[in-house]
């Protein structure tokens, strides 16, 4: 199961003000901010700790806050709110230096106007309605990315939007300094899985290093029979084991080999402190099978994965696993595999050769062995299952030469029309929004990859927040997508990013 714990991370909640109002008012501001911050900390939809920081009243305090946030390794972002007026010039130096994400919460301590008793003192204390506009101006003036959330702080929908931003910030924080490991290179001649790893590290903060598959083989060879026995016991407890793989089955040895690969891979990733990996069926020298169940189960534990050397997808799967920690519904590497073009109901069947994460399994997966057809190795062991119905997203990152593009498609997972007794891989069947013809055309115009990170836990809003933090182009295909407008959006984005970053590439 996903072992990522978001409760060790912090966001800082801070109210902005100024000395003008006198100590009585400032004391009240601090008390009210404390109350709001603590309520956010307790909110079930906010997955991280919310720490309340002292009210910011001066330029030095604003700068100090931002610098402290930059330097604190557990702080993943700050939430600001101007209870009163907080003149924005005093925030310029601090905000200019801030390297953590910012959420501007536009709220008010009191929900209702106290019609019968409201006087000028009350108005002066509760003036976020214009204090936050001054605060917002300076961030727009600085061309700062941030999220603005408007509404009463006890409103569950407001808390959920803050929680979504915290999830995005956790994913972004996780990428900073993260290491991903590639066993071998990309699949030969494939374009979309390749890209500029230097540019990715500059923009996203993670690094990608290649290891010869022989390094992994060493780790796999070192696994003992006792460790294999124990892991097979775990498989037998969790999955329905196909007859061929049972104790007296003809291919029991394949199951032992799969368990050996999982243990070796796990040891390699853990000793190198990697957050995800890629492999490639073209480069398996010394491995008996392409890792199937191993990749599936490592993903379920929170590792990123991309096949065929697809490091961008591996990193994205990992970030989405972090963002989804604790939520209902799984997250997996995915590939658009084949279509159902019945005019009454166009569907996509998503799957891969093997490596779909059992966090999206409906019911108990079965563990099976079948031939692969490519790669020339022994038949690989894999988990086979269907995916539960419900909303989901597919996301993908492509290297467009002068920038990365994050592409997202909203879909609705449906039960397969009929059972798929002969399909030897895990799969999901979905209807893309607004329809297959529009969605697939938009995806293809945008240069979208065939590999994606699929999630039944995350929503578009979380990815939107994440894209803002990463300062990466985001293009969304949803129920409102119209192709003519979508093609224009791609052209406008070309100009926008071109003006900002140049057209080289």
**Interface residue list for Mn ion (CB under 5 A):** 307, 335
123-162 exposure pattern, b = at least 16 Cβ within 10 A, e = fewer: eebbebeebbebbbebbeeeeeebbebebebeeeebbbbb
- What lies within 8 Å, CB to CB, of 351 at 6+ separation is 334, 335, 337, 423, 425, 426, 427, 428
169 or 351: CB nearest Mn ion: 351
- What lies within 8 Å, CB to CB, of 201 at 6+ separation is 207, 208
Report the nearest approach of Mn ion to the CB of residue 470 (Å). 24
Instruction: Tell how many helices (H) and how many strands (E) occur in the chain.
Output: 15, 19
Report the nearest approach of Mn ion to the CB of residue 451 (Å). 6
| Rounded CA separation 53/322 (Å) | 26
78 or 356: CB nearest Mn ion: 356
Q: Among 58, 39, 62, which residue's Cα sits nearest to residue 50?
A: 39
352 or 403: CB nearest Mn ion: 352
Report the nearest approach of Mn ion to the CB of residue 313 (Å). 9
Report the nearest approach of Mn ion to the CB of residue 467 (Å). 24
94-to-56, 71, 142, 393 alpha-carbon distances in Å: 11, 13, 11, 36
282 or 412: CB nearest Mn ion: 282
250 or 374: CB nearest Mn ion: 374
Report the nearest approach of Mn ion to the CB of residue 208 (Å). 18
Report the nearest approach of Mn ion to the CB of residue 335 (Å). 5
Report the nearest approach of Mn ion to the CB of residue 427 (Å). 14
Quick one: 434 exposed, middle or buried, by C-beta within 10 A (0-12, 13-18, 19+)?
middle
> DSSP string spanning 407-449?
EEEEEEE---SS--TT--S-EEEEEESS-HHHHHHHHHHTT--
Q: Which residue has the tokens 């060493």?
A: 218
283 or 335: CB nearest Mn ion: 335
279 or 335: CB nearest Mn ion: 335
Report the nearest approach of Mn ion to the CB of residue 430 (Å). 18
434 cis-preceded (ω within 30 degrees of 0):
yes
95 or 372: CB nearest Mn ion: 372
335 or 386: CB nearest Mn ion: 335
- Phi, psi (degrees; rounded to nearest 5) at 274: -90, 145
Report the nearest approach of Mn ion to the CB of residue 255 (Å). 24
| Rounded CA separation 197/404 (Å) | 11
Angle, helices 436-445 vs 483-501, to 10°: value is 20
């Amino acid at each position: 199961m996903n072992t990522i714990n978001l409760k060790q991370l912090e966001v800082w909640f801070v109210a902005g003000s100024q000395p003008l109002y006198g100590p009585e008012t400032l004391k009240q501001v601090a008390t009210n901010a404390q109350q709001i911050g603590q309520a956010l900390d307790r909110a079930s939809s906010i997955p991280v700790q919310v720490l309340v920081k002292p009210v910011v009243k001066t330029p030095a305090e604003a700068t100090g806050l931002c610098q402290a946030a930059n330097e604190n390794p557990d702080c993943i972002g700050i939430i600001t709110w101007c209870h009163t007026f907080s003149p924005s010039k005093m925030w310029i130096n601090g905000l200019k230096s801030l390297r953590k994400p910012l959420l501007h919460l536009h709220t008010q301590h009191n929900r209702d106007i106290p019609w019968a008793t409201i006087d000028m003192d009350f108005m002066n204390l509760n003036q976020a309605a214009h204090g936050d506009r001054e605060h917002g101006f300076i961030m727009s003036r600085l061309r700062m990315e941030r999220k603005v959330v408007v509404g009463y702080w006890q409103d569950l929908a407001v808390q959920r939007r803050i929680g979504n931003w915290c999830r995005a910030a956790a994913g972004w924080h996780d990428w900073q300094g993260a290491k991903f490991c590639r066993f071998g290179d990309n699949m030969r001649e494939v374009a979309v899985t390749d890209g500029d790893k230097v540019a990715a590290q500059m923009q996203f903060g993670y690094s990608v290093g290649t290891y010869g598959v022989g390094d992994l083989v060493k780790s796999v060879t070192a696994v003992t029979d006792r460790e294999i026995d124990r892991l097979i016991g775990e498989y037998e407890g969790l999955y329905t084991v196909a007859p061929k793989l049972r104790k007296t089955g003809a291919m029991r040895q394949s199951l032992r080999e799969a368990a050996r690969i999982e243990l070796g891979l796990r040891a390699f990733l853990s000793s190198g402190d990697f957050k995800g990996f890629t492999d490639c069926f073209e480069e398996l020298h010394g491995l008996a099978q392409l890792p199937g169940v191993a990749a599936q189960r490592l993903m379920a534990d929170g590792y990123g994965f991309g096949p065929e050397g697809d490091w961008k997808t591996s990193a994205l799967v990992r970030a989405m696993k972090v963002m989804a920690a604790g939520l209902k519904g799984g997250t997996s590497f995915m590939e658009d595999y084949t279509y159902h073009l019945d005019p009454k109901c166009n569907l996509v069947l998503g799957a891969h050769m093997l490596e779909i994460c059992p966090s999206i399994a409906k019911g108990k997966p079965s563990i099976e062995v079948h031939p692969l057809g490519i790669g020339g190795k022994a038949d690989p062991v894999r988990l086979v299952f269907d995916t539960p119905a419900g909303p989901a997203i597919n996301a993908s990152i492509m290297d467009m030469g002068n920038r990365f593009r994050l592409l997202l498609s909203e879909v609705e997972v449906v039960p397969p029309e009929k059972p798929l007794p002969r399909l030897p891989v895990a799969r999901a069947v979905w209807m893309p929004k607004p329809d297959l013809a529009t969605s697939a055309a938009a995806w293809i115009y945008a240069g979208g990859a065939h590999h994606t990170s699929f999630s039944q836990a995350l929503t578009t809003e979380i990815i939107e927040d994440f894209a803002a933090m990463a300062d990466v182009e985001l293009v969304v295909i949803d129920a409102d997508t119209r192709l003519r407008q979508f093609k224009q959006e791609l052209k406008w984005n070309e100009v926008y990013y071109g003006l900002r970053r140049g057209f080289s590439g």
